[in-house]
Amino acid sequence: MTRKPLILSVLTFGLAVFAVAAWYMTRPGPETTTASAAPEYAEALVRGYSPVLGPKEAPVTIVEFFDPACEACRAFHPVIKDIMAEHGDAVRVVLRYTPFHGAASEEAIKVLEAARMQDVYEPVLEAVLREQSRWASHGASEPGRILQIAGSAGLDAEVARTQMLAPDVVAILNQDRADVETMGIRGTPTFFVNGRLLDPFGETELRTRVAEEVAGAGS
């Protein structure tokens, strides 16, 4: 090989490496705020149909991208309840479905939506998370087990079988899946507090951020 082709080959390789490195450093991630985000990102963070725990008019909103089959989501649920109890009417939680565990997640989301239609959302949510190891795909799951668990919390399982197939439920699941992609969510749970991504992630960080937002809302 002559010197000139060799130099060109080295330059071409170097440019390719630089391009890959530049893409990696600028790859999209979750939006960190809705205050300055484009309208489509603000809309993707909270939808009007999203389940809300706590007062709808609370000044502080925690948005949780949540997978009912996620062990970390189950572990964080008592923390969320404790934060809500600590701050009373000042905090609400908006749940965004994030079905990262495939069919098990999707079935659980449909069960939760049926529970919402039957006005037993919160007790069913508690039961589904408490008994997660019995129905989730990473446990010893059995078909229909989650409906039995939800039934013990007040869900009419027979009615729910039809409700789970409703077009509105399918539309919610599809829209949340699209919003997860739009927001660049890569893991669950992912939290936003009043539109700002919780980063770094952790229980202490979440408690601190919420307390700061509550204090600011009351000033």
CA distance 63 to 194: 8
Please report the pLDDT score of residue 218 as a whole number: 81
Please report the pLDDT score of residue 108 as a whole number: 96
Please report the pLDDT score of residue 204 as a whole number: 98
Domain locations in the chain as residue ranges: 39-218
Q: What's the predicted TM-score (pTM) here?
A: 0.81
CA distance 126 to 77: 9
Per the structure block, which two tokens stand in for 155?
A: 């869900």
Question: Which residues of the chain are under the pLDDT cut of 50?
Answer: 1-29, 31-37
User: How large a percentage of the chain has pLDDT more than 70?
Assistant: 78
Please report the pLDDT score of residue 40 as a whole number: 67
Please report the pLDDT score of residue 39 as a whole number: 65
Question: What is 39-218's CATH topology?
Answer: Glutaredoxin (3.40.30)
DSSP string, the chain: --HHHHHHHHHHHHHHHHHHHHHHHT-----S-SSSS-HHHHHHH--TTS-EES-TT-SEEEEEEE-TT-HHHHHHHHHHHHHHHHHGGGEEEEEEE--TTTHHHHHHHHHHHHHHHTT-HHHHHHHHHHTHHHHSTTSS--TTHHHHHHHHTT--HHHHHHHTT-HHHHHHHHHHHHHHHHHT--SSSEEEETTEE--S-SHHHHHHHHHHHHHHHH-
Q: Which residues pair with 66 in a beta bridge?
A: 97
Please report the pLDDT score of residue 41 as a whole number: 81
